[in-house]
Copies of this chain bind each other. A is one copy, B any other.
Amino acid sequence: MDKVFQYLNDNKQANLDQLQQFLKIPSVSTDSTYKKDVKKAADFVADYLREAGFKHVEVEETKGHPLVFAEWLEAGEQAPTVLFYGHYDVQPAEPLHEWKSEPFNPEIRDNRIYARGASDDKGQVFMHLAVFKAFLQTTGELPVNMKVCIEGEEEIGSANLYELLQSNKEKYQADFAVISDSGMVANDQPTILYGLKGFTGLEFTIKGPDNDLHSGMYGGAIRNPAMAMAHILTSMKNEEEVVLVDGFYDDVEDITEEERELIRQAPSEDFAVSTGAKETVSEQGYTAKEHTMARPTLEINGLYSGYQGEGTKTIIPSTATAKLTCRLVPGQDPDAIQQLLVKHIEDHLPKGVTVSIKKEPLSAKAYRVDPDHPLIKKAAESFEETFNKEVVYVRMGGSIPVVEWLDSIYQVPVVLLGFGTPDDRLHSPNESFPLDHFEKGMQTIANYWNKVSTNS
Protein backbone atom coordinates (compact mmCIF):
# COMPACT_ATOMS: atom_id res chain seq x y z
CA MET A 1 0.00 0.00 0.00
CA ASP A 2 2.88 2.36 0.71
CA LYS A 3 3.94 2.19 -2.90
CA VAL A 4 0.42 3.04 -3.99
CA PHE A 5 0.17 6.00 -1.62
CA GLN A 6 3.59 7.18 -2.72
CA TYR A 7 2.55 6.99 -6.38
CA LEU A 8 -0.54 8.97 -5.68
CA ASN A 9 1.51 11.56 -3.84
CA ASP A 10 4.12 11.83 -6.59
CA ASN A 11 1.37 12.28 -9.17
CA LYS A 12 -0.64 14.92 -7.35
CA GLN A 13 -0.15 17.57 -9.99
CA ALA A 14 -0.40 15.13 -12.88
CA ASN A 15 -3.68 13.89 -11.51
CA LEU A 16 -4.99 17.40 -11.13
CA ASP A 17 -3.90 18.25 -14.68
CA GLN A 18 -5.61 15.22 -16.12
CA LEU A 19 -8.76 15.87 -14.11
CA GLN A 20 -8.84 19.32 -15.67
CA GLN A 21 -8.50 17.79 -19.13
CA PHE A 22 -11.46 15.56 -18.32
CA LEU A 23 -13.49 18.52 -17.03
CA LYS A 24 -12.81 20.57 -20.14
CA ILE A 25 -14.86 18.24 -22.29
CA PRO A 26 -18.46 19.54 -22.34
CA SER A 27 -20.08 16.10 -22.16
CA VAL A 28 -23.65 17.37 -21.79
CA SER A 29 -25.77 14.28 -22.41
CA THR A 30 -29.17 15.96 -22.63
CA ASP A 31 -28.21 18.27 -25.48
CA SER A 32 -27.62 16.71 -28.90
CA THR A 33 -25.34 19.56 -29.99
CA TYR A 34 -22.75 18.09 -27.62
CA LYS A 35 -22.96 14.54 -28.95
CA LYS A 36 -19.38 14.60 -30.20
CA ASP A 37 -18.07 15.93 -26.91
CA VAL A 38 -19.89 13.21 -25.05
CA LYS A 39 -18.09 10.68 -27.25
CA LYS A 40 -14.81 12.48 -26.60
CA ALA A 41 -15.29 12.11 -22.87
CA ALA A 42 -16.01 8.40 -23.30
CA ASP A 43 -12.76 8.09 -25.24
CA PHE A 44 -10.89 10.00 -22.54
CA VAL A 45 -12.03 7.47 -19.94
CA ALA A 46 -11.26 4.51 -22.19
CA ASP A 47 -7.81 5.81 -23.08
CA TYR A 48 -7.00 6.48 -19.44
CA LEU A 49 -8.02 2.97 -18.45
CA ARG A 50 -5.89 1.45 -21.17
CA GLU A 51 -2.95 3.62 -20.16
CA ALA A 52 -3.52 2.69 -16.55
CA GLY A 53 -3.06 -0.97 -17.36
CA PHE A 54 -6.48 -2.40 -18.19
CA LYS A 55 -6.13 -4.76 -21.10
CA HIS A 56 -9.81 -5.22 -21.80
CA VAL A 57 -11.38 -1.85 -22.49
CA GLU A 58 -14.35 -1.24 -24.78
CA VAL A 59 -16.32 1.82 -25.78
CA GLU A 60 -19.68 0.27 -26.41
CA GLU A 61 -22.06 2.09 -28.72
CA THR A 62 -25.65 2.18 -27.54
CA LYS A 63 -28.88 3.63 -28.93
CA GLY A 64 -27.74 6.78 -27.13
CA HIS A 65 -24.35 7.70 -25.73
CA PRO A 66 -21.51 5.18 -25.46
CA LEU A 67 -20.80 3.11 -22.39
CA VAL A 68 -17.21 2.48 -21.31
CA PHE A 69 -16.61 -1.02 -20.02
CA ALA A 70 -13.29 -2.43 -18.77
CA GLU A 71 -12.20 -5.55 -16.93
CA TRP A 72 -9.23 -6.65 -14.91
CA LEU A 73 -9.92 -10.12 -13.54
CA GLU A 74 -6.51 -11.38 -12.42
CA ALA A 75 -6.85 -11.03 -8.67
CA GLY A 76 -7.64 -14.69 -8.18
CA GLU A 77 -10.62 -16.59 -6.89
CA GLN A 78 -10.26 -15.62 -3.24
CA ALA A 79 -10.60 -11.96 -4.17
CA PRO A 80 -14.07 -10.60 -4.77
CA THR A 81 -15.26 -9.21 -8.06
CA VAL A 82 -16.33 -5.61 -7.85
CA LEU A 83 -18.44 -3.60 -10.27
CA PHE A 84 -17.40 0.05 -10.19
CA TYR A 85 -20.08 2.29 -11.70
CA GLY A 86 -19.79 5.96 -12.59
CA HIS A 87 -20.84 8.40 -15.29
CA TYR A 88 -18.84 10.74 -17.48
CA ASP A 89 -21.78 12.84 -18.69
CA VAL A 90 -22.74 16.08 -16.99
CA GLN A 91 -25.68 18.43 -16.48
CA PRO A 92 -26.07 21.42 -18.77
CA ALA A 93 -24.27 24.51 -17.44
CA GLU A 94 -27.13 27.02 -17.97
CA PRO A 95 -27.75 29.66 -16.76
CA LEU A 96 -24.32 30.68 -18.00
CA HIS A 97 -24.32 34.25 -16.76
CA GLU A 98 -24.38 33.02 -13.17
CA TRP A 99 -21.00 31.27 -13.41
CA LYS A 100 -18.00 33.14 -12.04
CA SER A 101 -15.60 31.15 -14.24
CA GLU A 102 -16.42 29.23 -17.41
CA PRO A 103 -18.14 25.93 -16.68
CA PHE A 104 -15.86 23.99 -19.01
CA ASN A 105 -12.65 25.85 -18.23
CA PRO A 106 -11.79 24.58 -14.76
CA GLU A 107 -10.50 27.05 -12.22
CA ILE A 108 -9.05 26.49 -8.79
CA ARG A 109 -10.20 28.90 -6.08
CA ASP A 110 -10.29 28.52 -2.31
CA ASN A 111 -8.88 25.03 -2.57
CA ARG A 112 -11.78 23.89 -4.73
CA ILE A 113 -11.87 23.04 -8.40
CA TYR A 114 -14.73 24.82 -10.18
CA ALA A 115 -16.29 23.28 -13.31
CA ARG A 116 -19.47 21.56 -14.41
CA GLY A 117 -18.98 17.92 -13.42
CA ALA A 118 -16.28 18.60 -10.82
CA SER A 119 -18.34 16.77 -8.19
CA ASP A 120 -21.04 15.10 -10.29
CA ASP A 121 -19.49 12.90 -11.37
CA LYS A 122 -16.11 13.44 -13.08
CA GLY A 123 -14.14 14.47 -9.99
CA GLN A 124 -15.23 11.34 -8.18
CA VAL A 125 -14.90 9.04 -11.21
CA PHE A 126 -11.42 10.32 -11.90
CA MET A 127 -10.31 9.56 -8.36
CA HIS A 128 -11.12 5.91 -9.02
CA LEU A 129 -9.32 5.94 -12.39
CA ALA A 130 -6.23 7.41 -10.75
CA VAL A 131 -6.30 4.79 -8.00
CA PHE A 132 -6.58 1.96 -10.55
CA LYS A 133 -3.54 3.41 -12.29
CA ALA A 134 -1.64 3.78 -9.04
CA PHE A 135 -2.12 0.10 -8.22
CA LEU A 136 -1.42 -1.21 -11.69
CA GLN A 137 1.62 0.96 -12.26
CA THR A 138 3.22 0.09 -8.93
CA THR A 139 2.16 -3.41 -7.85
CA GLY A 140 1.10 -4.48 -11.33
CA GLU A 141 -2.22 -5.67 -9.96
CA LEU A 142 -5.47 -4.66 -8.36
CA PRO A 143 -6.40 -6.13 -4.98
CA VAL A 144 -9.78 -7.15 -6.38
CA ASN A 145 -11.21 -8.38 -9.66
CA MET A 146 -12.56 -5.24 -11.20
CA LYS A 147 -15.33 -4.53 -13.71
CA VAL A 148 -15.57 -0.88 -14.64
CA CYS A 149 -18.83 0.50 -16.06
CA ILE A 150 -18.86 4.21 -16.82
CA GLU A 151 -21.88 5.45 -18.77
CA GLY A 152 -22.81 8.68 -20.55
CA GLU A 153 -26.54 9.00 -19.78
CA GLU A 154 -26.95 9.20 -16.03
CA GLU A 155 -28.20 12.77 -16.21
CA ILE A 156 -30.89 11.74 -18.68
CA GLY A 157 -32.16 8.58 -17.01
CA SER A 158 -29.72 5.84 -18.01
CA ALA A 159 -32.29 4.16 -20.23
CA ASN A 160 -29.76 2.20 -22.27
CA LEU A 161 -27.79 1.11 -19.22
CA TYR A 162 -30.96 -0.33 -17.76
CA GLU A 163 -31.47 -2.45 -20.84
CA LEU A 164 -27.85 -3.59 -20.87
CA LEU A 165 -27.90 -4.50 -17.18
CA GLN A 166 -30.99 -6.61 -17.74
CA SER A 167 -29.75 -8.43 -20.81
CA ASN A 168 -26.04 -8.90 -20.05
CA LYS A 169 -26.06 -10.36 -16.58
CA GLU A 170 -22.90 -12.38 -16.93
CA LYS A 171 -20.97 -9.39 -18.17
CA TYR A 172 -21.85 -7.13 -15.24
CA GLN A 173 -22.23 -9.75 -12.53
CA ALA A 174 -20.08 -9.05 -9.47
CA ASP A 175 -20.03 -9.70 -5.74
CA PHE A 176 -20.80 -6.11 -4.96
CA ALA A 177 -20.84 -2.70 -6.56
CA VAL A 178 -19.20 0.58 -5.64
CA ILE A 179 -20.42 4.02 -6.66
CA SER A 180 -18.96 7.45 -5.89
CA ASP A 181 -21.71 9.82 -6.95
CA SER A 182 -22.99 11.14 -3.62
CA GLY A 183 -21.80 13.31 -0.80
CA MET A 184 -21.00 13.78 2.84
CA VAL A 185 -23.40 15.50 5.21
CA ALA A 186 -20.82 18.21 5.77
CA ASN A 187 -17.37 19.16 4.59
CA ASP A 188 -14.77 16.77 5.95
CA GLN A 189 -17.40 14.57 7.61
CA PRO A 190 -17.14 11.10 6.08
CA THR A 191 -20.60 9.68 5.67
CA ILE A 192 -21.90 6.18 5.15
CA LEU A 193 -24.98 6.48 2.96
CA TYR A 194 -26.62 3.12 3.58
CA GLY A 195 -30.13 3.70 2.24
CA LEU A 196 -32.00 5.48 -0.55
CA LYS A 197 -35.71 5.93 -1.03
CA GLY A 198 -37.65 4.46 -3.91
CA PHE A 199 -39.95 6.35 -6.19
CA THR A 200 -43.24 6.22 -8.05
CA GLY A 201 -45.70 8.80 -9.31
CA LEU A 202 -48.52 9.81 -11.55
CA GLU A 203 -50.39 12.76 -12.96
CA PHE A 204 -54.16 13.03 -13.08
CA THR A 205 -56.67 15.44 -14.56
CA ILE A 206 -60.21 16.02 -13.33
CA LYS A 207 -62.61 17.19 -16.00
CA GLY A 208 -65.94 18.86 -15.47
CA PRO A 209 -67.54 20.86 -18.29
CA ASP A 210 -66.12 20.95 -21.81
CA ASN A 211 -65.13 24.60 -21.41
CA ASP A 212 -64.60 27.12 -18.64
CA LEU A 213 -68.04 28.35 -17.58
CA HIS A 214 -69.48 31.62 -16.27
CA SER A 215 -69.45 31.01 -12.52
CA GLY A 216 -72.65 33.02 -12.00
CA MET A 217 -74.74 31.18 -14.57
CA TYR A 218 -73.45 27.70 -13.71
CA GLY A 219 -72.30 27.84 -10.11
CA GLY A 220 -74.64 25.52 -8.26
CA ALA A 221 -75.27 23.19 -11.18
CA ILE A 222 -71.81 22.01 -12.12
CA ARG A 223 -69.17 20.36 -9.92
CA ASN A 224 -66.07 22.56 -9.86
CA PRO A 225 -63.10 20.40 -10.98
CA ALA A 226 -60.65 22.38 -8.84
CA MET A 227 -62.71 21.73 -5.73
CA ALA A 228 -63.16 18.07 -6.71
CA MET A 229 -59.36 17.89 -7.05
CA ALA A 230 -58.91 19.41 -3.58
CA HIS A 231 -61.24 16.76 -2.12
CA ILE A 232 -59.33 13.93 -3.73
CA LEU A 233 -55.98 15.31 -2.60
CA THR A 234 -57.04 15.74 1.02
CA SER A 235 -58.39 12.20 0.99
CA MET A 236 -54.85 11.01 0.21
CA LYS A 237 -52.93 12.72 3.01
CA ASN A 238 -54.10 14.34 6.23
CA GLU A 239 -52.85 17.39 8.07
CA GLU A 240 -50.81 15.16 10.38
CA GLU A 241 -48.62 14.22 7.41
CA VAL A 242 -49.96 10.68 7.28
CA VAL A 243 -50.74 9.18 3.89
CA LEU A 244 -54.33 7.92 3.88
CA VAL A 245 -54.21 5.76 0.75
CA ASP A 246 -55.36 2.27 1.76
CA GLY A 247 -52.48 -0.17 2.00
CA PHE A 248 -49.77 2.46 1.56
CA TYR A 249 -47.88 1.52 4.73
CA ASP A 250 -48.70 -2.22 4.73
CA ASP A 251 -45.30 -3.49 3.55
CA VAL A 252 -43.12 -0.81 5.06
CA GLU A 253 -40.03 -2.13 6.85
CA ASP A 254 -39.89 0.50 9.52
CA ILE A 255 -36.78 2.13 10.91
CA THR A 256 -35.36 0.16 13.85
CA GLU A 257 -34.32 1.48 17.25
CA GLU A 258 -30.70 0.81 16.41
CA GLU A 259 -31.01 2.83 13.24
CA ARG A 260 -32.67 5.68 15.08
CA GLU A 261 -29.71 5.73 17.45
CA LEU A 262 -27.30 5.54 14.54
CA ILE A 263 -28.74 8.42 12.55
CA ARG A 264 -29.19 10.47 15.68
CA GLN A 265 -25.41 10.84 15.63
CA ALA A 266 -25.42 12.42 12.19
CA PRO A 267 -25.67 16.20 12.23
CA SER A 268 -29.26 17.40 12.05
CA GLU A 269 -30.28 19.96 9.47
CA ASP A 270 -32.46 22.73 10.85
CA PHE A 271 -34.95 22.47 8.01
CA ALA A 272 -36.84 25.60 8.93
CA VAL A 273 -33.67 27.68 8.93
CA SER A 274 -32.21 26.13 5.78
CA THR A 275 -35.43 26.37 3.73
CA GLY A 276 -37.12 29.47 5.10
CA ALA A 277 -40.27 27.56 6.01
CA LYS A 278 -42.11 28.70 9.13
CA GLU A 279 -41.42 25.46 11.01
CA THR A 280 -40.86 21.79 10.31
CA VAL A 281 -43.78 19.39 10.21
CA SER A 282 -43.49 15.62 10.33
CA GLU A 283 -45.45 12.46 11.00
CA GLN A 284 -46.14 11.95 14.68
CA GLY A 285 -43.64 9.64 16.28
CA TYR A 286 -40.83 10.55 13.91
CA THR A 287 -38.39 13.44 13.89
CA ALA A 288 -38.01 15.46 10.72
CA LYS A 289 -34.68 13.71 10.12
CA GLU A 290 -36.24 10.27 10.54
CA HIS A 291 -39.18 11.11 8.32
CA THR A 292 -37.02 12.49 5.48
CA MET A 293 -34.62 9.56 5.69
CA ALA A 294 -36.78 6.57 6.45
CA ARG A 295 -40.54 7.11 6.10
CA PRO A 296 -42.46 7.02 2.83
CA THR A 297 -43.92 10.26 1.51
CA LEU A 298 -46.53 11.51 -0.93
CA GLU A 299 -46.02 14.99 -2.35
CA ILE A 300 -47.85 17.23 -4.78
CA ASN A 301 -45.22 18.54 -7.25
CA GLY A 302 -47.60 20.55 -9.40
CA LEU A 303 -51.24 21.61 -9.27
CA TYR A 304 -53.13 23.78 -11.73
CA SER A 305 -56.64 24.71 -12.78
CA GLY A 306 -58.42 27.65 -14.36
CA TYR A 307 -57.30 31.26 -14.40
CA GLN A 308 -53.77 32.14 -13.32
CA GLY A 309 -53.38 35.67 -14.63
CA GLU A 310 -53.72 38.96 -12.83
CA GLY A 311 -56.97 39.93 -11.14
CA THR A 312 -60.28 38.13 -11.28
CA LYS A 313 -61.93 35.86 -13.81
CA THR A 314 -65.25 34.50 -12.68
CA ILE A 315 -65.18 31.01 -14.16
CA ILE A 316 -65.75 27.43 -13.17
CA PRO A 317 -62.63 25.87 -14.72
CA SER A 318 -63.03 23.06 -17.18
CA THR A 319 -60.23 20.95 -15.69
CA ALA A 320 -57.80 20.58 -12.80
CA THR A 321 -54.50 18.68 -12.88
CA ALA A 322 -52.16 17.42 -10.17
CA LYS A 323 -48.73 15.80 -10.38
CA LEU A 324 -47.87 13.50 -7.48
CA THR A 325 -44.80 11.54 -6.54
CA CYS A 326 -44.11 9.17 -3.68
CA ARG A 327 -40.80 8.37 -2.06
CA LEU A 328 -40.76 4.76 -0.92
CA VAL A 329 -38.91 2.80 1.75
CA PRO A 330 -37.73 -0.82 1.89
CA GLY A 331 -40.61 -3.29 1.61
CA GLN A 332 -42.75 -1.14 -0.67
CA ASP A 333 -43.18 -2.17 -4.30
CA PRO A 334 -43.33 0.85 -6.64
CA ASP A 335 -45.78 -0.66 -9.10
CA ALA A 336 -48.06 -1.88 -6.34
CA ILE A 337 -48.02 1.53 -4.67
CA GLN A 338 -48.73 3.24 -7.98
CA GLN A 339 -51.72 0.97 -8.43
CA LEU A 340 -52.96 1.82 -4.94
CA LEU A 341 -52.84 5.51 -5.89
CA VAL A 342 -54.80 4.86 -9.07
CA LYS A 343 -57.44 2.88 -7.21
CA HIS A 344 -57.72 5.51 -4.52
CA ILE A 345 -58.27 8.29 -7.01
CA GLU A 346 -60.89 6.32 -8.87
CA ASP A 347 -62.69 5.34 -5.64
CA HIS A 348 -62.75 8.91 -4.38
CA LEU A 349 -63.84 10.63 -7.57
CA PRO A 350 -66.73 12.96 -6.70
CA LYS A 351 -69.95 12.84 -8.69
CA GLY A 352 -70.17 15.10 -11.72
CA VAL A 353 -66.59 14.90 -12.99
CA THR A 354 -64.42 12.39 -14.82
CA VAL A 355 -60.73 11.62 -14.37
CA SER A 356 -57.84 10.61 -16.61
CA ILE A 357 -54.66 9.26 -15.03
CA LYS A 358 -51.16 9.21 -16.51
CA LYS A 359 -48.81 6.86 -14.67
CA GLU A 360 -45.17 7.94 -14.42
CA PRO A 361 -43.22 5.20 -16.21
CA LEU A 362 -40.02 5.73 -14.21
CA SER A 363 -39.99 4.02 -10.83
CA ALA A 364 -37.54 2.52 -8.35
CA LYS A 365 -37.56 0.39 -5.22
CA ALA A 366 -35.93 1.72 -2.08
CA TYR A 367 -32.42 0.59 -1.36
CA ARG A 368 -30.97 -0.33 2.04
CA VAL A 369 -27.85 -2.17 3.04
CA ASP A 370 -27.18 -3.27 6.62
CA PRO A 371 -24.86 -0.74 8.27
CA ASP A 372 -23.16 -3.70 9.94
CA HIS A 373 -22.39 -5.43 6.66
CA PRO A 374 -18.65 -6.24 6.48
CA LEU A 375 -18.29 -4.25 3.26
CA ILE A 376 -19.87 -1.25 4.92
CA LYS A 377 -17.72 -1.62 8.01
CA LYS A 378 -14.62 -1.69 5.83
CA ALA A 379 -15.78 1.43 4.04
CA ALA A 380 -16.23 3.12 7.41
CA GLU A 381 -12.72 2.10 8.45
CA SER A 382 -11.24 3.34 5.17
CA PHE A 383 -12.89 6.72 5.65
CA GLU A 384 -11.91 6.95 9.28
CA GLU A 385 -8.29 6.11 8.63
CA THR A 386 -7.93 8.80 5.99
CA PHE A 387 -10.14 11.55 7.35
CA ASN A 388 -9.23 10.87 10.97
CA LYS A 389 -12.83 11.22 12.00
CA GLU A 390 -15.66 8.88 12.89
CA VAL A 391 -18.16 8.32 10.10
CA VAL A 392 -21.81 9.16 10.47
CA TYR A 393 -24.57 6.95 9.06
CA VAL A 394 -27.45 8.33 7.06
CA ARG A 395 -30.21 7.28 4.71
CA MET A 396 -31.11 9.62 1.87
CA GLY A 397 -34.60 10.85 1.06
CA GLY A 398 -33.69 10.93 -2.62
CA SER A 399 -33.26 8.09 -5.08
CA ILE A 400 -30.39 6.88 -7.25
CA PRO A 401 -31.95 4.60 -9.87
CA VAL A 402 -28.80 2.72 -10.87
CA VAL A 403 -28.26 1.65 -7.25
CA GLU A 404 -31.76 0.27 -7.15
CA TRP A 405 -31.34 -1.52 -10.47
CA LEU A 406 -28.14 -3.20 -9.33
CA ASP A 407 -29.92 -4.25 -6.17
CA SER A 408 -33.01 -5.60 -7.90
CA ILE A 409 -31.38 -7.16 -10.99
CA TYR A 410 -28.20 -8.50 -9.38
CA GLN A 411 -29.08 -8.68 -5.68
CA VAL A 412 -25.66 -7.43 -4.68
CA PRO A 413 -24.72 -4.91 -2.01
CA VAL A 414 -23.99 -1.45 -3.37
CA VAL A 415 -21.43 0.56 -1.43
CA LEU A 416 -21.78 4.31 -1.79
CA LEU A 417 -18.41 5.97 -1.23
CA GLY A 418 -19.42 9.59 -1.47
CA PHE A 419 -16.86 12.37 -1.41
CA GLY A 420 -19.04 15.36 -2.32
CA THR A 421 -20.02 18.14 0.08
CA PRO A 422 -23.20 20.23 0.58
CA ASP A 423 -21.39 23.22 -0.98
CA ASP A 424 -20.63 21.47 -4.28
CA ARG A 425 -23.73 22.97 -5.99
CA LEU A 426 -24.66 19.99 -8.12
CA HIS A 427 -26.88 20.88 -11.07
CA SER A 428 -26.34 24.57 -10.36
CA PRO A 429 -23.95 27.28 -11.51
CA ASN A 430 -20.48 27.31 -9.92
CA GLU A 431 -20.30 23.58 -9.25
CA SER A 432 -17.08 22.68 -7.49
CA PHE A 433 -15.26 19.93 -5.62
CA PRO A 434 -12.85 20.35 -2.70
CA LEU A 435 -9.25 19.46 -3.50
CA ASP A 436 -8.61 17.96 -0.10
CA HIS A 437 -11.48 15.53 -0.69
CA PHE A 438 -9.93 14.79 -4.07
CA GLU A 439 -6.67 13.83 -2.35
CA LYS A 440 -8.10 12.08 0.68
CA GLY A 441 -10.68 10.42 -1.52
CA MET A 442 -8.04 8.65 -3.54
CA GLN A 443 -6.36 7.44 -0.38
CA THR A 444 -9.69 6.23 1.00
CA ILE A 445 -10.47 4.34 -2.17
CA ALA A 446 -7.04 2.73 -2.36
CA ASN A 447 -7.38 1.74 1.28
CA TYR A 448 -10.82 0.29 0.59
CA TRP A 449 -9.75 -2.00 -2.25
CA ASN A 450 -7.03 -3.31 -0.01
CA LYS A 451 -9.41 -4.02 2.85
CA VAL A 452 -11.98 -5.78 0.71
CA SER A 453 -9.42 -7.82 -1.19
CA THR A 454 -10.09 -10.83 1.01
CA ASN A 455 -13.61 -12.12 1.23
CA SER A 456 -13.79 -11.64 4.97
Contact = CB atoms under 8 A, between A and B. Distances in A.
Interface of A: 197, 199, 201, 203, 208-211, 213-224, 226-227, 229-231, 233-234, 237, 239, 241, 269, 271, 275-283, 286, 288-289, 291-293, 295, 297, 299-309, 312-317, 320-323, 325, 327, 350-354, 360, 362, 396-399
Contacts of A289: 221
B220 A352 contact: no
Question: What 4 pairs between A and B have smallest CB-CB spacing?
Answer: A220-B291, A216-B398, A210-B276, A209-B275
Nearest to A219: B297
Taken together, the copies of this chain in the complex come to 2
A302 B297 contact: no
A276 B209 contact: yes
A325 B309 CA distance: 15
Residue of A220, A276, A293 most packed against chain B (CB within 10 A):
A220
B304 A222 contact: no
B217 A398 contact: yes
A158 to B, nearest CB: 15
Contacts of A305: 300, 302-304
A197 B288 CA distance: 48
Given A222-B271, A233-B227, A277-B208, A304 B304 contact: yes
A175 B54 CA distance: 102
Given A312-B360, A323-B306, A323-B307, A299 B352 contact: no
Contact of A216 (B281, B350, B396): B396
A316 B301 CA distance: 6
A291 B217 CA distance: 10
Contacts of A399: 216
Contact of A221 (B218, B280, B362): B280
A220 B288 contact: yes
B312 A275 contact: no
Contacts of A295: 220
Given A226-B300, A305-B303, A216 B234 contact: no
Given A215-B297, A218-B397, A302-B317, 8 more contacts: A210-B275, A220-B283, A221-B280, A221-B288, A227-B234, A301-B306, A302-B307, A303-B317
Nearest to A226: B300
Contacts of A288: 220-221
Given A210-B276, A221-B292, A314-B301, A397 B216 contact: yes
B303 A312 contact: no
Given A220-B282, A271-B222, A313 B303 contact: no
Given A227-B237, A277-B208, A303 B306 contact: yes
Contact of A279 (B276, B352, B398): B352
A234 B223 contact: no
Residue of A201, A226, A321, A397 most packed against chain B (CB within 10 A):
A226
Given A227-B300, A306-B303, A323-B312, A352 B280 contact: yes
